[in-house]
Amino acid sequence: MLIVKLAFRNILRNCRRSLLTLLSMGGGFFLLCLTLSMSEGSYSNIINIFTQDHTGHVQIHKENYLERPSLYKTINHADEIITQLEQQPLVLGVAPRIYSPSLAYGKNKTFPAQVIGIDPDREAKTTRLENKISEGHFLTSEVINQVTNLDGNQISTDGYFPAMVGFTLAKNLQLTIGDELVLISQGIDGSIANDIFEVVAIVGDVGSYERMNVYIHLSAMREFLSMQGDTSKVHELAIILSSQSEARKFAVNTQLALKNKSLSVDPWQVVESSFYKSMQADKKGSYVSMGIIIFIVSIGVLNTILMGTLERTREFGVLKAIGTRPVAVFTLIMLESFVLAIISCLIGLALALPVCFWLAGVGISMPEPIDMGGIIFDTMLGEVSWFVVLLPSIVVISSTLIVSFIPAIRAAKISPLKALQAV
């Protein structure tokens, strides 16, 4: 208790120096908290936009489909898996998809295209595809019925199949709403797959993921690829969760629950590994900046504590002369630094929290939007979380104690005789 009283007395003895130290450390905490909030918030925003755009948080494929896509690598009994997944409380939506590279023809021009068979209702719950329609209408049941006769999973041959075409592909083929689109590909039975479709919507813009895609109903896709007898086979299941932070854990648990070694359950970090790696590299750059900030703050703290220790050399000599143990002197110096660090964190927190809450709610609009893999990022958002608050606290307190270690050791080892003789 005596050491605690001495520590507070020494802090209050020179109020001006203590205040400057508190402001320096509190400013370091404020900058660290603000930088971390902007970094984590912006990346969380990018991840949410990216995963909700088309990837989903978790994807299920056959074996190594991601590395080497093939028309024949299909997920069997997909309906059963979807039913199982939708019973999970974390799952907000599951979107089955069938992929096929094709040759698109329209208005005397041909271009390569990626044809994707989707379940419109499930896709709308899983991704933002419905919101990216720039012209026309999404593949709702009403739109499909206007173009074809749809009964359950069977599509009549009366009329053309409806299709949503990516912006760039539609521009290259000079297609508009109501025009005919011819697709040519390979059927799953080895035959030539070809059919005529009616354009009912233009999707995305010139820089979006969908720019060269064609979206048709799963039933139309199965008929196009001669898969009518395989109504439960798909190439991919995209899953959206209520929290993107649970993606890895959910993927592991789902892999174990499926008990099917031929299926691969991957979180978005694996599905979009190049994007994830670039994001992690950029995060490391932010951590370097934060390290520079705390280094500058630590130098100032070291100077303050060292000067305070030198000024009290005779005091430490008296303490040692009356029998104070070296460990008590060491503890006194460290306790003073710890108290200053705690108070500075509280000051920094009081300054940082209002700003972080504002950034999390409003954010900073960027003068020039950034295109990240076809995803437009135009607002930098902050984040308020325990991580954003605790990490700067740990860094400030630990760095303060580290730089205080040398002055504390010096004071503990000082000779009473030399200390009393000091001027």
Residue 240 maps to a domain = no
Residue 60 maps to a domain = no
Residue 208 maps to a domain = yes
Clarify whether residues 229 and 96 are in a common domain: yes
Residue 417 maps to a domain = yes
Burial environment of residue 326 by CB neighbours within 10 A (0 to 12, 13 to 18, 19 or more): middle
Clarify whether residues 102 and 12 are in a common domain: no
* Overall average pLDDT of the 298-312 stretch: 74
Clarify whether residues 83 and 230 are in a common domain: yes
Tell me what pLDDT residue 145 has.
58
CB of 204 closer than 8 Å to CB of 167: yes
Strands (DSSP E) contained in 160-318 are 161-166, 180-186, 192-203, 213-217, 236-241, 263-267
* Overall average pLDDT of the 69-94 stretch: 90
Higher per-residue confidence, 5 vs 114:
114
Residue 120 maps to a domain = yes
Residue 210 maps to a domain = yes
Q: Does position 153 have pLDDT exceeding 50, yes or no?
A: no
Clarify whether residues 87 and 203 are in a common domain: yes
As for how many domains the chain has, the answer is: 2
Q: What is the mean pLDDT of the chain?
A: 83
Clarify whether residues 216 and 89 are in a common domain: yes
Strands (DSSP E) contained in 52-188 are 58-62, 91-106, 109-118, 133-136, 150-151, 154-155, 161-166, 180-186
Clarify whether residues 196 and 345 are in a common domain: no
Clarify whether residues 88 and 204 are in a common domain: yes
Against a cut of 0.95, is the pTM above it? Answer: no
Residue 411 maps to a domain = yes
Clarify whether residues 292 and 408 are in a common domain: yes
66-69 long-range CB contacts below 8 Å, 24 or more apart?
66/264, 66/266, 66/270, 66/271, 69/99, 69/235
Residue keyed to tokens 């143990």:
325
Higher per-residue confidence, 334 vs 141:
334
Domain that holds residue 176: 70-234
Select from 234, 253, 284 the last residue of a domain: 234
Q: Does position 150 have pLDDT exceeding 70, yes or no?
A: no
Tell me what pLDDT residue 372 has.
59
Q: Does position 156 have pLDDT exceeding 60, yes or no?
A: no
Clarify whether residues 46 and 78 are in a common domain: no
Tell me what pLDDT residue 305 has.
75
When pLDDT is cut at 50, 70 and 90, the band that residue 1 belongs to is: low
Residue 88 maps to a domain = yes
Clarify whether residues 331 and 215 are in a common domain: no
When pLDDT is cut at 50, 70 and 90, the band that residue 152 belongs to is: very low
